[in-house]
Structure 1
Amino acid sequence: MKYGEVIHARLHKRINRFIAEVLIDGKLEQVHIKNTGRLKELLRPDAEVILERSGNPNRKTRFSLIAAAKNGSWVNIDSQAPNTVAFDALKEGKITEFGSVKLVKREVTFGASRFALYFEQKDAKGFIEVKGVTLEKGGIALFPDAPTTRGTKHVLELANAALEGYTCVILFVVQMKAARTFVPHREMDAAFADALLEASRQGVQILAYDSIVKEDELVLDKALPVYLA
């Protein structure tokens, strides 16, 4: 996915979940953060960040914070981007586990949950739940970076759909190139890790792909090994 006009800035401080204060050409300005996660290892004082200019003249903030530098590379933090890049990659046949699909829809409801993608192939119908990953430690991509009861609910609902005959997948979009593997972050949320393991046993496929992160673009790239524990 491509962004519009982007600029570089320096993070001064994060004010709350939604707002950060940055330095643009030496002047302080408040910007919207496109991710409500903790992001402690990324949104540090003086971190280099990328901002996208808003096209809405009525918005209180002129820019949205979409990426932060870590160890010389960019990490995309836009929580809306993973669904878009997964949708694009699936339509273009770039997710090797699927190949070509004849139909893809976004935001489709099943039971009490709404999944990111619904797809149809010649002999299958299914759902894909997409999770964006911004946390990496020692080459290991970890999700979640904060407890997520909503995420656990989605995983269990997807397992129910698998039992009804749908092809079901959880796709972790790792929004960086630094990771070599993906592991659920059990220390942060044991219930989510347990739900993921149980869903896998019930036939839900667990995938992780890293991404190419440019200043104004995010593209799904290569599959990563997944270790459930």
Structure 2
Amino acid sequence: MLYRDIVQARFCRRLNRFVAQADLGNGPEPVHVKNTGRCAELLVPGCRAWLQDAGPGTTRKTRYDLIAVEKIRPGREPLLVNLDSAAPNAVAGEWLTAGGLGPLEELRPEYRLGGSRFDFFARRPGGQSVLVEVKGCTLEQDGLARFPDAPTLRGEKHVRELTELRAQGYECAVLFILQMEQMRRFTPNWDTHPSFGTALAKAQAAGVQVLALGCRVQPDQLEVAYTVPVDLTVPGSV
């Protein structure tokens, strides 16, 4: 996916879940944060940031959206991270449409099934139903991509539901969109939400596909570029 009207700024501080301040050269001004996660390791005062400009005539409360930041890593090169929480579904849709998961028909986003809503539904040419759940990943630790950065009961619920639906005959997949480059592998964040990691490992054992997709990241672009190894081993279990 491509962004238009991207401008560079310096991140100042986060005011709340939805609003931060950034300096484009004339002092701090409010910007919309398109990610309600904690992102404490990313939203560091003084880091470089990239904003999407809605234009001077916008009727919005904030003219700019925070799209990406440069993660400060002492002793290592900074890492460009896309923060847009709407981007993972968009790039996953592009990847699925291009055949990333094999031939699919009737690709439908935001699919309701029972009391839940899944990110994508599709059918194989032979009629097999496919359900796909997408998770955006912005947490990096020493070259490892980890999810989640904060406990996600909703995310765990979706993984457990996909495990049950796999047993009912659906083809199911969980896609982790890594919104940064150079990741060596993906692993659940066992420190923050161990039961999510356990649910994910059980899902994979039950036949749910678990894929981590590395992206090509630019201030104005996010695109799935390669797969990253997935490691669901519980720390200390080997």
Q: TM-score range, shorter-chain basis?
A: over 0.9
Structure 2 residue 83 is the aligned partner of structure 1 residue 77 = yes
SS where residue 190 of structure 2 aligns?
coil
Please state whether the residue corresponding to 1:29 is helix, strand or coil. strand
The answer to whether structure 1 residue 157 and structure 2 residue 161 are counterparts is yes
Question: 1:120 matched to which residue of 2?
Answer: 123
Give the aligned partner of residue 68 of structure 1: 69
Any conservation in 1 of the 2:92–2:134 contact (CA below 8 Å)?
Answer: yes
Distance 1:11 1:26 in 2: 13
Correspondence 1:105 to 2:108: yes
Which moved further from structure 2: 71-80 or 132-141?
71-80
Q: Which moved more, 1:194-203 or 1:144-153?
A: 194-203
Per-residue displacement from partner, 1:70-114 (whole Å, max 9, x unpaired)? Answer: 233311010110001000111012x2xx22222211110122221
> What is the one-letter code of the residue matched to 1:30?
P
Asked whether the equivalents of residues 67 and 219 of structure 2 are also in contact (C-alpha less than 8 Å), the reply is no
**1:39-50 paired onto structure 2 within 5 Å:** 39-50=39-50
CA distance in 2, matches of 1:143, 1:228: 11
Paired position in structure 2 for 1:23:
23
Structure 1 distance, partners of 2:58, 2:22, is 20
Instruction: Give every structure 1 segment of 4 or more consecutive aligned residues whose post-TM-superposition deviation is greater than 6 Å.
Output: none
* Aligned residue type for 2:95: A
Aligned length: 226
Say what the alpha-carbon RMSD is for the aligned residues: 1.3
The alpha carbon displacement at 1:190 in A equals 1.1
Contact 1:34 1:80 in 2 (8 A): yes
Question: Residue 64 of structure 1: CA displacement?
Answer: 0.7
Give, in angstroms, the shift of residue 138 of structure 1.
0.8
Structure 1 counterpart of 2:236: none
Q: Which residue of 1 aligns with 2:200?
A: 196
Q: Secondary structure at the match of 1:156?
A: helix
Counterpart contact for 1:111–1:157, Cα < 8 Å: no
| CA spacing shift, 1:22–1:53, aligned 2, 3 Å | same
Distance between the aligned counterparts of 2:102 and 2:205, measured in 1?
A: 24
Question: Greater shift after overlay, 155-164 or 67-76?
Answer: 67-76
Amino acid at match of 1:76: N
Aligned pair 1:174/2:178, yes or no? yes
* Matched letter for residue 198 of structure 2: D
Contact 2:103 2:125 in 1 (8 A): no
**Percent sequence identity over aligned pairs:** 42
Q: 1:48 is matched by which residue type in structure 2? A: R
Q: Secondary structure at the match of 1:218?
A: strand
User: Within 2, Cα distance between the matches of 1:26 and 1:47?
Assistant: 16
> How far apart are residue 3 of structure 1 and its match?
1.1
The one-letter amino acid paired with 2:227 is: A
What is the one-letter code of the residue matched to 1:216?
A: D
Q: Is the 8 A contact 1:134 1:175 kept in 2?
A: yes
Per the TM alignment, residue 145 of structure 1 is displaced from its structure 2 partner at its CA by: 0.1
TM-score (norm 1): 0.95
